Structure 1
Amino acid sequence: MQTRRVFLATCLIACCVSASAADGRLNLTLRKQVPVSAGVKQFHTVTESQAWNPAETAIILCDVWDSHTCENAVKRVNELSPRLNEVVVALRKAGATVIHAPSNCMDTYKDHPGRKRAMETPKSKSLPTDIEKWCYKIPAEEQGVYPIDQTDGGNDDEPEQRAAWMEKLVQEGRNPKRPWVKQTDIIVVDDSKDYITDLGDEVWSILETRGVKNVILAGVHTNMCVLGRPFGLRRMAENGKNVVLLRDMTDTMYNPKSAPYVSHFTGTDLIVSHIERHVCPTITSDQIIGGKTFRFSGDTRPHIVVIASEPEYDTARTLTEFAVPHLGKDFRVTHLYGDAKKDNEIPGLEALNDADVMLLSVRRRTLRAEQLEIVKNYIAAGKPAVGIRTASHAFSLRKGETPPGHAQWPELDAQVWGGHYSNHYANNLKCEITFTPEAAPHPIMAGIEQKPFMAGGSLYQTAPLEPGTTVLQMGKVHAKEAEPVSWTFTRKDGGKSFYTSLGYVGDFQNPVFTSMLTNAVYWAAGKTPAKRP
């Protein structure tokens, strides 16, 4: 029975490979991030299709050890390893080179054919400088800021759990400071083909001898060994290999009790973003074996897509700075920005297709019809929406013609937010914000001191509101009628929305606004807002 299961699994993998590479090539979609414009800290996510010759391709399995000082890290490795093994089997069958690199474990493999094969490979005559050394940073990374604090080693075990795990390692006869002795047995080594080495010069020599141009890095831990080992991403990238990270077949050593105080999985996302911006592109396992992208069972974060495309209020910056500290603990965040050269383009809007929440800050864009349809389909599915400031007139022009092939949505304000924006009062008219009686018990106002305050910008004229709205805040300027400022809305499609005409640059310096916006996202996602310090 066991033999039959293995046979069927092998056949399934073979089918996936043939579907992925029907022409004998590995047809991959490489993802990277590029600056929205020169000198800014916002990035577009872009993709490029490449067809790789398997014979010119290698996968390096970095430190997929049988044990670790962190029990949680071991559990995550054990969870991803079965799928990673499927990837290895598929690539090997396609003709790619497989290099197992469990560092500091070579004594275990001293008599293994794979180890001997690596040692017997002729040394390359063009070994790169420092290929035998760790690499802590490459010049391209000087342009960015490393996104997480890993100075505590990244162990995310709780203290009692850690103590029990250390005791268990001792009972197993392992060195609790370095308990790994081999690669996990979940990853199968083919004695007749694969290589085993943890040395940079040996890895490079294998690649050169076999004519490998394309390198896939998988394994752990992304922020340490996968990046820094002599055979890691940095060394491969700086020495000219067409290298990619298999981003769903990796994990970080990151402790959420360290800056930026986000979930472990958000920490991994931040490192992957850093890599895509400054080191190399990434791919996913489904591109090789089909199925769905791997996701850890503990990663239950809803996916929020934050869309910023407006020139007046700098929300491309303010929302980006807002997202990590306020949403990073419980959400998987994707940022989309307007094209700096094409006002009516928002690259990557397809991310809405699997979003759980949309946060919109767009002003008077007429998207290509197919792009606007993505937004309309998201809303029609009854999914939640959060809008700030210019979101009321996101996809409609005040004047002028719609460009050919593009479309407007002037009804969005009424249909999605329940409002009727018509104009705003002069910028020099100070606006006082007050809370309505309905605000007191509402979860969006949880933990917020409901005292009047001054808005950071002009007051929008938004009345009258549609039936189904619940007003939470009102705004008033001298000698003018008060206007609704923040409210919830139950849409005709059954979905729920929150809108606020706040969102001026100065509003993001006001903890009342940032707390309200945070709570609104949690409310939209059906989650209880996280407690704030």
Structure 2
Amino acid sequence: MEASNETLRGRRIVFVCGEDEYESERTMPLLAEEAKKYGAWTTVLQAAPDPASPASIPGLEALRTADLAVFYIRFRQLPEEQFRHIRDYLASGKPVVGLRTSTHAFQYPQDHPLAEWNDGFGIDVLGAPWIRHFGHSSSTSVSVAWGAERHPILRGVPTHFECRSWLYQVLPYPPEGAQILLNGATVNPEDNGWSYTSETPRVQPVAWTRTRAGGGRVFTTTMGHPEDFELSAFRRLLINGMHWALGLERSIPEQDPLKQEIEGGEQR
């Protein structure tokens, strides 16, 4: 039986991007186009007037009708009238996918009413705070975590691949209850002014799932460098993660149907 390409048909996915380090204003629209091929309705929201502007992401009211929110944001200081759409979405118990810098999504002044979200979004929503990384010139060797081999998010994802993202330290998170899917080993780490000890191991989780207190499913990855999106393994991981977050893991094919179409066309 031929696999269906429209496993996300009718699902509304809102991509929220706002950071000025990893070109999410370019990569998130590409990911949205990939999701459209599976039948999803997509909306991409971007910081205004440019990615470096921390105080505005217009259109967040789109979260009211979203089935899934995908976040790629960093150090935002959104006004209450915009932030409340994110807070209301989270309170609804709907699913979340978070990429890389979203572990440190907000950076409000300490006396600001929303300052609790500076660490709270990373810890309470995604399952990991911002701690540090292993240096911009390093990269990461990614492998499937022990015991996660049969997780539906990893269907069609190779057991090992290399990515450009420099490794984030996320220990002691993810907290109890998270399932680690992929681990990353730092390659050629920089000194960065600290010593790597048993408290800062060179292997860290790079993808995991969890369930928030409100019941919503969460898929988080600390990968997301622009060059990562050139990897079919990474794109497949994200598409699978969106399926899983929406409760559609049974619809994730063993092989990528879009890739099969391309290969079939080449063979003909």
Shorter-chain TM-score: what band? 0.7 to 0.9
Q: Tell me how far 1:321 sits from its aligned partner.
A: 1.5
Once the two structures are superposed, residues 323-358 of structure 1 have per-residue CA deviations (whole angstroms, 9 ceiling, x without a partner) of 213443221101100112542100000000111000
Instruction: Supply the AA of the counterpart residue of 1:525.
Output: L
CA distance in 2 between counterparts of 1:518 and 1:379 reads 21
CA distance in 1: counterparts of 2:210 and 2:180, whole angstroms: 9
Percent identical among aligned pairs is 31
Query: What's the counterpart of residue 317 of structure 1?
Result: 26
Structure 1 residue 402: deviation in Å? 6.6
Q: Aligned letter for 1:462?
A: V
- In the alignment, structure 1 residue 496 sits paired with structure 2 residue 249: no
Tell me which residue corresponds to 1:39. none
Q: Deviations along 1:179-217, whole A, 9 cap, x unmatched? A: xxxxxxxxxxxxxxxxxxxxxxxxxxxxxxxxxxxxxxx
- The question of whether the paired residues in 2 share the 8 Å contact of 1:473 and 1:486 is answered with yes
Among 518, 523, 530, which residue is 2:239 paired with? 518
Show the counterpart of 1:462.
170
Residue 450, structure 1, aligned to residue 183, structure 2: no
Matching of residues 140-219 of structure 1 within 5 Å: none
Deviation at 1:412, TM superposition (A): 0.9
Question: What's 1:358 paired with?
Answer: 69
The answer (yes or no) to whether the contact 2:100–2:223 under 8 Å persists in 1 is: yes
- AA aligned to 1:372 is F
Are residues 421 and 402 of structure 1, via their aligned partners in 2, closer, same or farther at CA, if it must alter by over 3 Å?
closer
Q: CA, structure 1 residues 348+402, in 2 after alignment: closer, same or farther (shift >3 Å)?
A: farther
1:302 maps to which residue? Answer: 11
Counterpart check, 1:472 vs 2:195: no
Q: CA deviation at 1:446?
A: 0.8
Distance in 1 between residues matched to 2:101 and 2:140, nearest whole Å: 17
1:428 Cα deviation after fit: 1.8
Query: How far has the Cα of 1:474 moved from its partner?
Result: 0.9
Aligned equivalents of 1:404 and 1:471: distance in 2? 33
Q: What CA distance in whole angstroms lies between the structure 1 residues aligned with 2:122 and 2:180? A: 15
* Residue identity opposite 2:46 in structure 1: Y
More helix by share: 1
Distance 1:408 1:348, change over 3 A: farther
Cα distance in 2 between the residues matched to 1:438 and 1:497: 19
Counterpart Cα distance in 1 of 2:240 and 2:233: 11
Q: Secondary structure at the match of 1:448?
A: coil
TM-score for both structures, normalised by structure 2? 0.80
TM alignment of 1:341-420, pairs within 5 A:
342-396=53-107, 401=109, 409-410=117-118, 411-420=120-129
Q: How does 1:234-249 map to 2 (within 5 A)?
A: none
Q: CA RMSD in A?
A: 2.3
SS at match of 1:484: strand
Q: Take 2:25 and 2:132, find their aligned partners in 1: how far apart are those partners?
A: 23
- Classify the secondary structure of the residue corresponding to 1:431: strand
* Mapped pair 1:529 → 2:240: no
Measure the CA separation in 2 of the matches of 1:326 and 1:300: 9
**In the aligned structure 1, how far is the partner of 2:35 from the partner of 2:85?**
27
TM-score by length of 1: 0.42
Find the aligned partners of 2:116 and 2:78 in 1 and give their Cα distance. 7
The answer to whether the 8 A contact 1:421-1:463 is kept is no
Contact 1:366 1:407 in 2 (8 A): no
